[in-house]
Chains A and B, each alone.
Chain A
Amino acid sequence: MSFVAVLKKIFLIDLVEGLFVTFRHQHPDNLVTEQYPQERPVISDRFRGQPHLKKDANGKTLCTACGACALACPEKLIKVSSLRDPETKKKVLTEFDFDLGRCMFCGLCEEACSSNALELSPAYELALYSREGLELDRQRMEDGTPRKAYER
């Protein structure tokens, strides 16, 4: 052992250095804890939260009732019901049932949607007292917060 190393060992320099490391970390600027209910967390643009069914500017739904989302869903939790309009011979959406209690927020339904009607919005406070409340119908799907547009 060199002379300096011996001196370092005698005066416990390593321990003193450790003390100063912990001392420096005390500064409140280092804190990363989020005080959640008082402080709102920063949600990223592509966060996948509660699903939302978009409407166009006239208030008509964008959904074409093609059922691609229901097919894409690995949990089979989407149920799309539709009627054939006798005049235009097109499908019209009647009901859109989404069981959020079984959803794992994978986003496959969103990707399968050809008309960009279904999207996963950044709403994240989904806790409820009953499972029934998590079964979203068309009304609640359309009422949710829309997602802000972002650059892909």
Chain B
Amino acid sequence: MIKSFLGYLHSGVTPGEAGNLIWITIYVLLVFAGVSLGVMFMNWFERKIMAHMQVRMGPMRVGPHGLLQPIADALKLIIKEDLMPSNADKLVFWFAPVCVVMTAFCAFIVVPFGRTHTITDMNIGVVFMLGVSSLGVLGVIMAGWASNSHYSLMGSLRSGAQMVSYEVAMSMAVVSAVMMTSMVTGTGTLSMIGIVQAQMQQHIWFVFSFFPVGLIALAVFAIAMVAETNRAPFDLPEAESELVAGFMTEYSGFRWSLFFLAEYTSMMAVSSIATTLWLGGWLRPFPNLLGGRNWDLAFSLVPGLTFMALALLCFFTFTRMPRIRAMRGDTAGLGGLACLLGVLGVVMLLPGVRDRVQDIFWFTSKVAFFMYFYVWGRTTFPRYRFDQLMTIGWKVLLPISIGVVILTALIGVRQDLFALVRR
């Protein structure tokens, strides 16, 4: 029993492939906890980054630099009264947030945090992710319909139209990346792990392959994914100045927090699709330029050193905290956090741990880059009008993405033909 439990660690496959139920459960719980923690951190991070870009400070009071603000917010949301409009469709009203959260988290079943750090590997991984994440629109429409409110209905109508129309351009961009997987090996794949492995075999991330083509595909996908998750500048379904809060208007308390959770989770989910398809998933940067065993070792030390640097930063802030009675708890907490991060950093430098952790680290940092991009775009761009949104979706992004697919096919076939002729 224990042997088969520990034996999995050396198998080098995902728990889904190994058919190991215990490890599947552990992985599911880990991913769920990790993503929820990520959402909480993202809440703080977004408010902080937005504040700094707008020359404000953002949350400063709950914990040092507002670090505990998301916990306080979550607590407040749970304690808050849970209202339901009197003429609402009770069952649908109840089921809508559940549906949204379920679809958002379901997508993480196939996200490859590493070769073995995936819940399971599906041979239709990308299609599964796109399908499941676009099921979320169903929950949004249900929420808008069941609330029995004009704002909600308008919001969900807009949201439905927007999510469906951007889905098309998004899938076209994905098709071009999937076509690239067949370049060297001759067999294409839709599996998330297979796509990353194809990038490993071709020694190139798909952003850079067939030079501007991959980049354009990524750009189309990046714009479409912002629209797909209803984020600024495409946040028409919840446009505050026009629709109060769109489909979430009638929701409060815990139900509202479920929508919030689902929004950030699906942001992370689409960011991980982008990372997997174009940014080489869990692969470390510069595999060609800085190759060899020494560089491998150097890059495997990066996660631990990053945590050490964070610990140092915390310690530096710890020494600079104001010496007053009211801040004593904050100061102690920050010192504790510095110690915790330092210990984690040391643990991550151990040989056995660092080989297992580094792929998760690279994947997460690439996803974090996309999350930063989300926030950055939100602070910078004003909201689009609805007809502009549809124009961008159907008249700009869709033709570009179809063009990208055709170009990818043409260049790919040309290279294959050259290879045949040379042989």
- Chain A residues with CB under 8 Å of chain B are 15, 18-19, 21-23, 25-26, 28, 30-33, 35, 37-38
A20 to B55, CA, bound (A): 14
Q: Are B380 and A18 in contact (CB under 8 A)?
A: yes
A46 to B381, CA, bound (A): 42
Interface residue from A26, A30, A31 paired with B49 (Cβ < 8 Å) = A26
Least distance between B222 CB and chain A CB atoms (Å): 12
A141 to B326, CA, bound (A): 32
- What count of chain B residues pass the 8 Å CB interface test? 17
Give chain A residues whose Cβ lies under 8 Å from the Cβ of B377: 19
A35 to B53, CA, bound (A): 18
Q: Are B380 and A19 in contact (CB under 8 A)?
A: yes
Interface string of B45-60 (1 = CB under 8 A from A): 0000100111111001
Interface residue from B57, B327, B380 paired with A33 (Cβ < 8 Å) = B57
Q: Are A38 and B52 in contact (CB under 8 A)?
A: no
Interface residue from A18, A26, A35, A37 paired with B52 (Cβ < 8 Å) = A26
B379 is an interface residue with CB less than 8 A from chain A: yes
Give chain A residues whose Cβ lies under 8 Å from the Cβ of B54: 25
Q: Are A25 and B322 in contact (CB under 8 A)?
A: no
Interface string of B288-327 (1 = CB under 8 A from A): 0000000000000000000000000000000000101011
A30 to B49, CA, bound (A): 13
B376 is an interface residue with CB less than 8 A from chain A: yes
A25 to B380, CA, bound (A): 11
Tell me how many residue pairs across A and B have CB atoms closer than 8 Å.
Answer: 36
The chain B residue with its CB closest to the CB of A24 is: B53
Interface residue from A15, A37, A38 paired with B381 (Cβ < 8 Å) = A15
The chain B residue with its CB closest to the CB of A37 is: B326
A38 to B65, CA, bound (A): 13
A48 to B360, CA, bound (A): 60
Least distance between B320 CB and chain A CB atoms (Å): 12
The chain B residue with its CB closest to the CB of A19 is: B380
Least distance between A135 CB and chain B CB atoms (Å): 31
Contacts A15-B381, A23-B376 hold; do A31 and B60 have CB atoms under 8 A apart? no
Contacts A15-B381, A18-B381, A35-B60 hold; do A30 and B376 have CB atoms under 8 A apart? no
Least distance between A41 CB and chain B CB atoms (Å): 15
Interface residue from A23, A26, A30, A38 paired with B322 (Cβ < 8 Å) = A38
Contacts A35-B60, A38-B322, A38-B324 hold; do A26 and B380 have CB atoms under 8 A apart? no
A5 to B75, CA, bound (A): 52
Interface residue from A18, A23, A32 paired with B55 (Cβ < 8 Å) = A32
A31 to B322, CA, bound (A): 18
Interface residue from B55, B327, B381 paired with A31 (Cβ < 8 Å) = B55
Q: Are A28 and B52 in contact (CB under 8 A)?
A: yes
Give chain A residues whose Cβ lies under 8 Å from the Cβ of B324: 38
Report which residue of A26, A28, A31, A32 has the largest number of chain B beta carbons within 10 angstroms of its beta carbon. A26
Q: Are A22 and B53 in contact (CB under 8 A)?
A: yes
Give chain A residues whose Cβ lies under 8 Å from the Cβ of B326: 37
